[in-house]
Amino acid sequence: MNCKSIFYILGWILRVEGLFLFLPMIVALIYGEDTWTVYLICAALTFAAGLALSWKRSGNFRLFAREGYVAVALGWVLMSLIGAVPLWAAGDIPHFVDALFEIISGFTTTGSSILVDVEAISRGGMFWRCFSHWIGGMGVLVFLLQIIPLSSGQIMYLMRAESPGPSVSKLVPKVRETAFVLYGIYLAMSVLEIFFLLIGGMPLFDTLCTTFGSAGTGGFAIWGDSMARYSPYLQIVVTVFMFLFGVNFSFYYLLLTKRVKEAFQIEEVRAYFGIFAASTVLIAFNILSQVGNLADSFRHAAFQVSSVMTTTGFATTDFNLWPEFSRTLLVLLMFIGACAGSTGGGIKVSRILMYLKTIKKELAFLVHPRSVKIVMMDGKKLEHTVVRAANIFLITYLVILAFSILIVSLDGSDFTTTVTAVITTLNNVGPGLSLVGPMGNFAFFSDLSKFVLMFDMLAGRLEIFPLLLLFVPYTWKK
């Protein structure tokens, strides 16, 4: 283990986070809040610490797979610990464990909140928690790859550890250029959403916070009723952009390079569109008698399917009161999640397709034992290592899910609350059902349960294994 290389990467992470902390300071100044000094001090100290760690790269600098995974996992933990300090020091969230829960939920784009009265916190604090979604959506390491002086091979180790999905592919020949393209698309889509929300009359502050949440598929709302108070037009705009940010960004790159046919040949994207459409129709008709209007029924259904499937977590209504069929379908969508290579969470549509294709292959093998079946995706053979990795991911995912439910159940909450709290944090969704529904919160959980749920949020965002490696003894051997 080359610790100097890891410290160098962590230093760059702190430098970037320090710069980001100046933004809520500016917001606090604009609104005349005294908390601006807290953000100024935190920003300066964080940037100075990062500068000290990354001022000079060691001559013995080596970054391989192990160092890459550890640097990413430690980077997210360190970034969260520091990000919680201003929320706690400014008095917005007096209990540090709660502040840590809130900011981890922000960076991992989960959106689960411990705030009982979200409207009571300062504007600077509100901006920081919402902006954390935008930072974590594409990933701070993907941003750093554009400025850190590393070779393409070293960059790929970092990118693989942070990017969501079963595999990471380069959109362009050079990895650094891939990172630039990804953030370019991310920024352009964010600006576009801001434009459409402003046209609809949404206030600028609300627009920025809403865009941060939908672009990062996080879902921190600035009002207690989430998105319910906004007009149908604004809700439709957010629905569309949540859905778009859940699409594999390779799809957009192919469209930009005028390879439209190739873009729509991506099986995962086609399946994602199909699942969204089918789920919206089923829920719309299931809640029709409750809503009373077909147009409103489809609007609420499309918004909630888009929000849950992309693991954003916004809400236009309390879906906890919907019929059992609709609630069950939403829970299933929490597991499926968005596309690989998007800002969404969950197991990912690509893995679900792999599992279905593998089941089909095994069934065919039972009927024709001597036949040779190959699992194909997008017209290409899926390598055994990719299928194997997807299977191991699912097993590990289920083990973590089971143990987390067991530990959180010690709090004595009802079964639905306990199970959906773990499901929603592990899949980076945000709201669950019952006490953790869209109009509820996570404040009532014990500190032990909150730490378990924080671990789940980080594990879900980092695709489990980078975080688990921190607990394996041989990871740290030289």
How far apart are alpha carbons 128 and 432 in whole angstroms?
Answer: 24
- 260 by Cβ neighbours in 10 Å (0-12 / 13-18 / 19+) ranks as exposed
Evaluate whether 428 touches 457 at the Cβ level (below 8 Å).
yes
Report strand pairing: 376-377 vs 380-381: antiparallel
Annotated binding residue 429: yes
Evaluate whether 35 touches 124 at the Cβ level (below 8 Å).
yes
Annotated binding residue 428: yes
Evaluate whether 115 touches 220 at the Cβ level (below 8 Å).
no
Question: What angle is formed at CA 43 by the lines to CA 19 and CA 47, rounded to 5 degrees?
Answer: 65
How far apart are alpha carbons 89 and 106 in whole angstroms?
Answer: 18
DSSP assigned state of 377 = E
Q: What is the CA radius of gyration of the chain?
A: 22
Dihedral angle, C-alpha 384, 390, 395, 400, nearest 10 °: 150
Annotated binding residue 312: yes
Evaluate whether 101 touches 451 at the Cβ level (below 8 Å).
no
Annotated binding residue 311: yes
- Which has the closest alpha carbon to 279: 289, 268, 271? 271
How far apart are alpha carbons 104 and 110 in whole angstroms?
Answer: 8
Annotated binding residue 328: no
> Residue 311 to residues 16, 66, 330, 349: CA-CA distances in angstroms?
26, 29, 11, 12
Single-letter amino acid code for the residue at 54: S
Annotated binding residue 110: yes
Give the 3-state secondary structure of residue 134: helix
- Which has the closest alpha carbon to 93: 124, 49, 139? 124
How far apart are alpha carbons 463 and 478 in whole angstroms?
Answer: 25
Count of CA atoms in the C-beta half-sphere (13 A) of 463: 24
Cβ density class 404-435: b for 16+ within 10 Å, e for less: bbebbbeeebeebbbbbbbbbbbbbbbbbbbb
Counting every residue written for the chain, the total comes to 478
Q: Binding site for K(+), residues?
A: 109-110, 218, 311-312, 428-429
Q: Binding site, residues?
A: 109-110, 218, 311-312, 428-429
